[in-house]
């Protein structure tokens, strides 16, 4: 049997060549969101590694890496929706990366910054007890992060609205820890502040698994034409973060948390004491 030569490119019908080219382009487009997810994962891995081996300055670098992971995480999702490149694989890959960047990395950073540098760590009985509670509370943060991501993959956004998340988003909870360390890089040296910090870490873990609604910012039409003046507040915000990143990011992280909890309390009170119809 005489082997036949492959058909010349010009002999392939135009529709088939166009279909192949489109398929190759689609494969490339699907890789773009995954590259941002890899960047997210890299930042989480770097933050975890430098937290385990570093001092006060390295803890600040770990906090900055978590902040950069938040940026990558927000970009990969928006890019996937913009290119219509959402896949089940991409969703699972993003969730696994988030466990590292917004679960393990901030938990290690919280423990290293809030507990590990206490005077008498490893020798004082009281400090050892604080260290044990800190270890378990930070581990609870990792568990709640993974639980929150699994629930989101199954349930999605709040019922009837794409404007709100159910429970505090994992990047926001990690952002509170990272912003705090970035604003105050020196590790805690007082045992009472350390106790308050590990309780705050547990509170953030509880917020992730709660049913409190947090604004998602997904209804902001970033891909549509906007007024030219809309670039002014965005430029001012970027400039403020560049110049006063410690204060601005700290206020942004805590404001998001406080506003979400406050609105939930107000909704609860209004529903609780609303006049009932006979």
Q: Where are the domains of the chain?
A: 26-272
Question: Per DSSP, what are the bridge partners of residue 164?
Answer: 215
Closest CA to 253 of 185, 168, 146: 168
Where does the pLDDT of residue 24 fall: very low under 50, low under 70, confident under 90, or very high at 90 and above? very low
Q: Average pLDDT of 7-24?
A: 52
| pLDDT of the residue at 237 | 84
| pLDDT of the residue at 223 | 59
Q: How many residues does the chain have?
A: 278
Contact in structure between 118 and 130 (CB atoms under 8 Å)? yes
Contact in structure between 187 and 130 (CB atoms under 8 Å)? no
Where does the pLDDT of residue 258 fall: very low under 50, low under 70, confident under 90, or very high at 90 and above? very high
Where does the pLDDT of residue 90 fall: very low under 50, low under 70, confident under 90, or very high at 90 and above? confident
CATH of 26-272, one of 1.10.10.10, 1.10.10.60, 1.20.120.1760, 3.30.1330.10: 1.20.120.1760
Element (H, E) at 133: helix 125-155
pTM for the whole structure: 0.83
Contact in structure between 149 and 142 (CB atoms under 8 Å)? no
Separation of CA 229 from chain center:
29
| pLDDT of the residue at 260 | 92
User: Which residues, including other chains, have CB under 8 Å from residue 87's CB and lie 6 or more apart?
Assistant: 30
């Amino acid at each position: 049997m005489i082997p036949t030569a492959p058909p010349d490119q010009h002999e392939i019908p135009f529709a088939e060549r166009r279909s192949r080219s489109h398929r190759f382009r689609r494969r490339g487009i699907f890789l773009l969101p995954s590259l941002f997810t890899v960047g997210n994962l890299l930042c989480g891995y770097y933050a975890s590694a430098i937290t385990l081996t570093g001092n006060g300055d390295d803890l600040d670098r770990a906090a900055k890496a978590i902040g950069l992971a938040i940026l990558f995480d927000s970009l990969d999702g928006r890019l996937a929706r913009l290119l219509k490149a959402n896949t089940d694989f991409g969703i699972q890959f993003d969730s696994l990366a988030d466990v590292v960047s917004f679960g393990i990395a901030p938990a290690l950073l919280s423990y290293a910054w809030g507990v590990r540098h206490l005077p008498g760590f490893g020798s004082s009985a009281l400090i050892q007890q604080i260290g044990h509670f800190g270890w378990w509370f930070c581990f609870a943060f990792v568990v709640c992060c993974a639980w929150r991501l699994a629930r989101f993959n199954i349930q999605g956004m709040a019922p009837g609205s794409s404007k709100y998340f159910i429970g505090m988003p994992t990047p926001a909870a990690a952002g509170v820890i990272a912003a705090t360390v970035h604003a105050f890089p020196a590790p805690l040296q007082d045992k009472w502040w350390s106790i308050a910090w590990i309780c705050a870490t547990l509170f953030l873990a509880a917020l992730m698994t709660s049913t409190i609604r947090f604004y998602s910012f997904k209804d902001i039409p970033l891909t549509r034409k906007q007024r030219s003046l809309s670039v002014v507040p965005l430029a001012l915000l970027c400039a403020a973060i560049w110049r006063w990143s410690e204060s601005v990011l700290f206020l942004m992280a805590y404001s998001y948390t406080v506003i979400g909890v406050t609105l939930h309390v107000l909704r609860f009170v209004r529903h609780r004491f609303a006049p009932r119809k006979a």
